[in-house]
Structure 1
Amino acid sequence: MEPRDDEIFEKFSDTRLSKTEIRERFERLRVARSASELAGLSSAISSEIVNSDIFRSAQTVALYSAVRGEVDVSPVLPVLRESGKKVFFPRVCGRDLRFFEVSDAGELSAGSFSIPEPPEDPAREAAPSDIDLIVVPGLCFDRSGSRIGYGKGFYDRTTRGLNTEKVCAAAYSFQFVDFEIPSEPHDARVGFVITERGVFRARKEGLKNV
């Protein structure tokens, strides 16, 4: 059964918000949640990830290091590794993200913006186009897969031009809005969104449970 919009989307009375206003509002919304609540939701989302068909079919997966209350997908790493998949994490290099294979979370250390990153090892690098599925964080999403992050554009530059089927967002259900997020030509969309309520395919006519 398809979820009702009122079961998915965060409701706002003013749909004419700018990207900056949306970003600020959703940062406050996330900060208002307790650490224990976010940890519980992250655990549920991680379970949805490892049990989803889109992850079962992927042989190479890019995760991210969660900061500032983002969905913590760290429990996914050992599960994917145990199933024989290669797992990559991003490293900030100038204005771009480069992805390096990681076998264990202990290989990550604080890098740009104090975010844990993998070491720069060309022998373990993969181009974004060669990774089957890239998991991205974000502050806010709409039904068509538009995304608002922190405004620096790293993931937009990384995933722009890729098939959206290769890009999946890990998000809390309260990070959805039922209006169209303002977007620009350089903004990249996600093809799927995974929340504690399931896996959804992003599309203009509404999210579809998959």
Structure 2
Amino acid sequence: MTEAKKNLRKQLKAALQKLTESDYRSLSEKIALRLYSLEEWEKARVIGITISNHPEVDTRDIIKQAWEQGKEIAVPKCLPGNKSIQFRKIVSFDQLEKVYFGLWEPIPSITEKVSKDEIDLLVVPGLGFTRSGYRLGFGGGYYDRFLPSYTGPVLSLAFDVQLMPTLPVETHDIPVSKLITPEKVYACNVG
């Protein structure tokens, strides 16, 4: 299973690297516009979202838009000791620091912890996705540990090159409720 996932991750990263800068920008923008039109976005006061690293769908503009609309942003901080994540509120990109693997995370000393019950909408990252909402993450398992006890709507953002007909699914994998691509929003009511 892990070898298959490792190969898939490599394949998906290579496909993402092939996106031109202009395609990356325009497709990220299309995805963001679809997100803003969703009822889940409209209703959300606090949004849990990662700071994207190129070539993931850009989330910085989405975060700016949320702030402009008076929404609050909670960004995950990875706790490698027990492989868990804790969300912390940021009001500016200056409250972030670059940590291992080039990830941007909130600086604990200047940000406030947010409980999972306070998050109205969670945008979960991933490398690959099926149209039924299963995702292939980056391999840390952090969201696999977080999602079972989170009860709000869970969405993911993806370029078309990230859509896979199938993925290796394990019993603990929890599908997202919606997958947003440049051309379509997939409602993923699995099970």
TM-score (norm: length of structure 2): 0.88
> Are 1:139 and 2:124 an aligned pair?
no
Distance, in Å, in 2 between the alignment partners of 1:162 and 1:50 is: 22
Partner of 1:76: 62
Distance, in Å, in 2 between the alignment partners of 1:23 and 1:194 is: 20
> Are 1:167 and 2:184 an aligned pair?
no
> Are 1:103 and 2:81 an aligned pair?
no
Question: What number of residue pairs does the alignment pair up?
Answer: 187
Structure 1: gaps of 5 or more residues: 1-16, 206-210
Residue aligned with 1:18, SS: helix
8 Å CA contact 1:50–1:80 kept in 2: the answer is: no
Amino acid at match of 2:89: E
TM-fit CA distance, 1:123: 6.7
Partner of 2:112: 124
8 Å CA contact 1:52–1:199 kept in 2: the answer is: no
8 Å CA contact 1:78–1:104 kept in 2: the answer is: no
> Are 1:202 and 2:188 an aligned pair?
yes
8 Å CA contact 2:90–2:111 kept in 1: the answer is: no
Residue aligned with 2:108, SS: coil
Aligned-CA RMSD value: 2.1
Distance, in Å, in 1 between the alignment partners of 2:109 and 2:186 is: 34
Distance, in Å, in 1 between the alignment partners of 2:57 and 2:131 is: 19
Tell me: CA distance 1:33–1:93, structure 2 relative to 1, closer, same or farther (3 Å): same
TM-fit CA distance, 1:66: 1.0
Partner of 2:16: 30
Amino acid at match of 2:180: I
Residue aligned with 1:178, SS: coil
Distance, in Å, in 1 between the alignment partners of 2:155 and 2:119 is: 12
Distance, in Å, in 1 between the alignment partners of 2:190 and 2:84 is: 29
Partner of 1:19: 5
Partner of 1:8: none
TM-fit CA distance, 1:112: 3.0
Partner of 1:176: 163
TM-fit CA distance, 1:77: 1.4
Once superposed, which parts of structure 1, at least 4 consecutive aligned residues long, lie more than 3 Å away? Answer: none
Residue aligned with 1:62, SS: strand
